[in-house]
Each structure stands twice: as C-alpha cells, then as structure tokens.
Amino acid sequence: MPDLDALDHHPDVARIRSRRLTGKVATLVVDATGLDDGEKEKLELSLKEAALAVPGIEEARIALTATKRGRTVVAVGSGKGGVGKSTLAANLAVALARLGQKVGLIDADIYGPSQPRLFGATQRAEAKDKQLIPVEAYGVKLLSVGQLVAEGTALAWRGPMASGALNQLIDADWGDAELIVVDLPPGTGDVQLSLIQKARPAAAVIVSTPQDLSLIDAARAIDLFEKTHVPIAGVIENMAGYDCPHCGQPSDPFGHGGAEAEAKRLGVAFLGRLPLSASLREASDAGNPPAAGEGPAAAAFADLARKLLVQLETIRG
C-alpha cells in the first residue's frame, strides 16, 4: 500500500491541506495563497513529482486552492538575554523566506537592536506618508529601531516611548508580507505586553539554552504568553553543545536536552536544537545569515522553519 507520509519531508509540506489515496492515485489539496502563476506552476510540478516518486503511486492529482488571509505574527521570545534569540530569529526569517513565505521581521528589541548588523542592512529606513518602509535583505523585509538611530546610541526611553516605537514598526508598510517574525527583547515587560495587545500574535516561539537558569526564565516567558492566550508554537534549544576544535570531542558547557525536557513538562512542542558554532557567530557578525547559504547550519534552520510552519497550521486548525 503506498504511503504518502513521505511527503512530510517536502519543503512545501505546510501548504498541503489534505492527501487522499484511491488505489494507486494520490490526490493532494494544496494551499497556493500568495503565489503568482509561475510559483503556482512550480509548486504543482514539485508536489506531483514528489507524489509520483512514492512507490506504488501511478498518478498524482494536485488541486490548488487560495484563501484571503491576514498577516500572521509570530513572536520569538526568551525569558533572559544571551541565549542567541536575535540570531535565531534572523535566520528563521531567512529560512522561512527560502521556503517560499513572504516574510517581514520586526526587531522589537528596542534597547538593544541587533538585526541590522545580523543582516548587514546598515541603510536607514525611510518613511512615506508617516509610514515606515521596511528595508529588504536576503528576501526578508526588515524594520528595526537600529535603522532609525545612530549605531551605539543609548535609548533612554521609558515604557510608553518604547511601546510607541514598537507600534510604528508594526504599523509600517509591510506590502505583501504574510508572515511577520518579531524579535522580542528578553523578559516579560512592557514591549511584550504592547505587542500582544497591538498585534495579537498567532503564536510564540521560545528560545532557551539547556541550562537550568535559562529554563526557569523560559518557563516564565511561556507563562506570559499562555496567560494572554497566545499559543506556543514550540521551544528551541540553542547553544546545545559543540565539537571541541582541538580534540574533536563533543562538549556540553550549558548542558544538553534541558529545553526539550522542559517543553515536554510544560506540554508544548519542541522544535529542535542548535549547537554552539564559531562559524555561525562569525557569519552573523559579518552580516551574512548562514540560513541564506548552504551547509549544515542552513539545513538546520530550514528544518526549524518547516516545523514552525507545521505548528502554525495546527494552531490555525
């Protein structure tokens, strides 16, 4: 009997709404929302080839559908700083764009904006009719307070001013962007609450290292989103070990598996883990998101992006 579960590894699996087998004929209903004619044709051909590659399938029928949808906002948060949240948010946005999503990224870390550096996007954001225009880099539309003030400037803003700045970023001209990733500051303060009130995120992703101290704060971040009725799309464990460059042996300076265990305890999805990586740090400092290239790091971020899309579909029902 043919098994269509093999399609779970297709890069556009999140667009598959239903799959049906009738004898040796596979029928897929696929969401083509937001795609132009050329992209729809490529999607249909790719899925047809994937279905026909399944042993036992002799015919594949693809039905494309499209629905009008508002923007989906996904918050990327952490309970504490120093867990690699901004780097992860940047590369997740790039990976989502490479999977065919029309993506925007808001750098809501008002007091410590780092996305312009991570994207190598040093140009200032412009405004038209009092509305900010995002800067585009690596297929992602980006807005950050870091594009509005000189680098290194200390922003001594009280809560209302920070919340006002966030509102400007949210209300920008995002054009055809369908998925907005928001890189939140660490903690559970004014900016988080303003985002929840203003943009009503469809889901939140929580980033944590495996160590106990980080997990305690990650649990607080999860609690905030759950209390404000924002579904948790999943937890990502960052800095989960590395291979020693001198002896080649694996090492776990922050522990291993703690975030996965905490996710299981709290009853939320675990999206995956990323190791400590010197090459990832060097590329990020140089403004070259590894997710935009090839190799193990790009593959890891692509896997996280695919899992996130599946979770979003589950949340939407």
Binding residues: 79-86
| 1 neighbors 56 (Cβ within 8 angstroms) | yes
| 273 neighbors 260 (Cβ within 8 angstroms) | yes
Q: What are phi and psi of 212, to 5 degrees?
A: -60, -40
Rg (CA), the chain: 20
Tokens, residue 161: 């001013």
Report the candidate in 285, 282, 200, 270 with the shortest Cα–Cα distance to residue 240.
Answer: 270
Binding site for ATP: what residues are annotated?
Answer: 79-86
Residue 2 φ/ψ region, left for φ over 0, alpha for ψ in the -120 to 50 degree band, beta for the rest: beta
